[in-house]
Amino acid sequence: MADSTTTIDHLHARLLSERSVSNKARQRADELAKRVLELEEQLRAVTIQRRRVEKATAEALAILENHGVSDLSKACDSSSDQDDAHCVLKDSENSSKEENSTSRLERSEA
């Protein structure tokens, strides 16, 4: 009889332990499902933002090309993201230098 009581107590303790593990696993699965939903929402928002930025970039490049700055996109396409700002600044400096050189040349000829 003592053996059967010990076995029953052991099985009862094991059942409670497995229930606890099962509940924790279910809670973790619920947390992960909630996190997946949050990440999916963030992905949607970032995708929308990226599309808007791409559209604005295309419009800005079109405006620049209409103003005669067509080499900018070719020069900067091969650059990394960090170099893009440098590329824009460098092209602006070059066009300013060219304008200054042209102005000086025109003044010296006059």
Dist CA 50 CA 56 (whole Å): 10
- Residue ranges covered by each domain of the chain: 1-68, 70-110
Note the pLDDT of residue 19: 97
> Are 73 and 61 contacting, i.e. CB atoms less than 8 angstroms apart?
yes
pTM of the model: 0.50
Amino acid at 72: L
Residue 110 pLDDT: 45
pLDDT score at 99: 57
pLDDT digits (tens, 9 = 90+) for 41-91: 999 999 999 999 999 999 999 999 999 876 654 555 555 555 555 555 455
Go through 34-46 and write b for each residue having 16 or more CB atoms within 10 A of its CB, e for each that does not.
Answer: eeeeeeeeeeeee
Q: Distance between CA 37 and CA 72 in Å, rounded?
A: 41
Q: Indicate the residue type of 51.
A: R
